[in-house]
A and B are shown apart, each in its own frame.
Chain A
Amino acid sequence: MSMRIELRNIFVHRAGLPVLEITNLILKEGRVHALVGPNGAGKSTLLMLLTGLIAPEQGEILINGQPVKDLRDLKYRRRVGLVMQDPLLLNMSVYENIAIGLHFRHVPGREIGRQVEDWVTRLGILHLLARKASTLSGGEAQRVALARVFVLQPELLLLDEPFGALDRKTRIGLLNELKILLPTTSATTIFSTHDEREVDVLADNRIELASGKISATNDV
């Protein structure tokens, strides 16, 4: 399952100032979209909007052709997965961290175990399952953050500068793994980045933001 999203005449203001003004944007289902632009361009605001964490003052959002009143609705939010630049793992074991979103969805325990094991194997972190999250390295923690979202099988996968806090070697390794993993999910993926190499490796489509507005979109 994946999601086709259409944004029409979206306006988001903060402290009276416009931070996002999107006249028309179509995010095609199953594709990987890269959001690029300088700091303050509106990349994170757009991701927060699509996660259902903020609401626009104006505009229309269509999911698979159907208008959606409020993306903050829990049913919508549970179709979406968000990975932030900082993994923000909880003070519990790696297994518990990865399983938490499934617990939120009241998935039975045996099914949780099966899904967690599947994704930690794919991400090469099976050996970390019993470790406390606080003992992980930056690269390990970001892999856990990715597993935590992949395990939810989201229709829309949102990655906010997911490699931004990693060293070069770890970043390249994870980037190559994601290049293989993303096509195995059917999720529509949107990731923000400052790095054009990440766009070249991962993206099907490049969306450039400047001062809250889309300045260019093109296929990669």
Chain B
Amino acid sequence: MLFNNPDVWEITLLSIKVSGIATLISLLIGFPFGTLLALNKFPGRAVLLTLINTGMALPPVVVGLAVAMTLWRSGPLGSLHLIYTPSAIIIAQVIISAPVVTGLTTASMQALDPRLRLQLQGLGASRSQMVFTIWREARLSLFAALMAGFGSVISEVGASMMVGGNIRHQTRVLTTAIVLETNKGEFISAIALGILLLLITFMINFALTWIQQRGVKR
């Protein structure tokens, strides 16, 4: 019955799309920034690392509040008319996910033997060749960062609710739909949507884990 409902497919696809885009943007920010933090020493690095690590534990509802205040019509970016749109949810989810990806990328780069960089440079690697080679070397940990980043946003509800508004056919995603159904007392629907969310999360993580574990030594 659940799968015959077009609304369910719509919110499922929107959930995957919004969280997928947010995760992708987080990777584009987190991989280079995390690598920069791991491989370079500069003034203020310790403070930045502390901020990133704090960011890994940001409460989604607080992020939602901050983004909502920024995007409200009276807010500093109100003229962009992004509040209660999927774009607003993506912005909030990037703020939640990017520190997770950045922090885990930094940790995985720092876990590699520091002499490896010298060896690669000693083999004639340019800066970009060196970075891509150590990313390849740390690919297991970087995939874990990707999965943690995706996991932090596909399951959050506070930010999506505050900046998306849970508007039917526009910004309703699986987590906000579960809250709505629960508030209406429609527990069977809420449980079914919850199972669907778990199933999607499992399938995406199963695919990523399969890619991650290919080529791992036995």
Contacts and interface: CB of A to CB of B under 8 A. Distances in A.
A74 B124 contact: yes
Nearest to B122: A82
B50 interface: no
Contacts of B123: 81-82, 100-101, 104, 148-149, 152
A61 interface: no
Main secondary structure of the interface of B (DSSP, over half): helix
B118 interface: yes
Interface residues on A, range: 20 to 34
A152 B118 CA distance: 17
Interface in A28-62: 48, 51-53
A123 B201 CA distance: 50
A134 interface: yes
A84 B121 CA distance: 12
A80 interface: yes
Interface stretch (A19-27, A85-93, A176-184, A208-216): A85-93
B124 A88 contact: no
Interface residues of B, number: 16
Interface in A62-88: 74, 77-78, 80-82, 84, 86, 88
B7 interface: no
B116 interface: yes
Contacts of B137: 90-91
A51 B116 CA distance: 14
Interface string B124-163: 1110010001001100000000000000000000000000
Contacts of A92: 136
A132 B217 contact: yes
Interface of A: 48, 51-53, 74, 77-78, 80-82, 84, 86, 88, 90-92, 100-101, 104-105, 132, 134-135, 148-149, 152, 158
Interface of B: 113, 115-116, 118-119, 121-126, 129, 133, 136-137, 217
List 5 tightest A-B contacts by C-beta distance, closest first.
A82-B122, A101-B123, A78-B124, A88-B119, A104-B124
